[in-house]
Amino acid sequence: MDASDRKLLDQLQKNAKTSIQSLAETTGLSTASVQRRVRALRETGAIQREVAILDPGQVGLGITAIVAVELERDRLDQIDAFKRKAREDRQVTHFYCIAGEADFILIVMARDIADYEAFTHRFFFADKNVRKFRTSIVVSTVKATSEVPV
């Protein structure tokens, strides 16, 4: 990966619909070179996927919760089951295995506080392997990005 690839990635993660012509003008490459490079970046997995970023409020999601979770046991099968459950749940938008006081950090989105409470009953209280969880409710979002600093 060279500087031109990094410029392409930087532009595409800001707007994946940027035209090949515009990318060529920004990077100083030919359109054919841009097409080849973007194809290669997709094939190698540098570009994992291209998505639309939605405004949570516009789609009825008023609550974002950051949740630290500690599991009861460190058995691999139970950890795997918890990871699988988090990957499959649509309300869990980010899921991190961490080192520190907790085992996992989850970012959870909900319509309102009642919806989040229902999530906690279904996801945490019903799971005998969850020792405890701590929730922080996001009051305002100062910065939220999926951009990687290239």
pLDDT block averages, 10 residues each, the chain of length 150 = 96 96 96 98 97 95 98 91 98 97 97 98 97 97 93
Q: Which pLDDT score is estimated for 77? A: 93
Q: Which CATH architecture best describes the domain 56-137?
A: 2-Layer Sandwich (3.30)
The model carries a pTM of 0.88
Give the separation between CA 23 and CA 30, rounded to whole angstroms. Answer: 9
3-44 and 56-137 agree in CATH topology: no
- Alpha-carbon span 9 to 47, nearest angstrom: 8
- β-strand partners of 106: 67, 95
Break the chain into its structural domains and give their ranges.
3-44, 56-137
DSSP-derived pairing of the beta strands 104-110 and 63-71: antiparallel
CA dihedral 85, 89, 91, 96 (to 10 degrees): 40
CATH architecture assignment, domain 3-44:
Orthogonal Bundle (1.10)
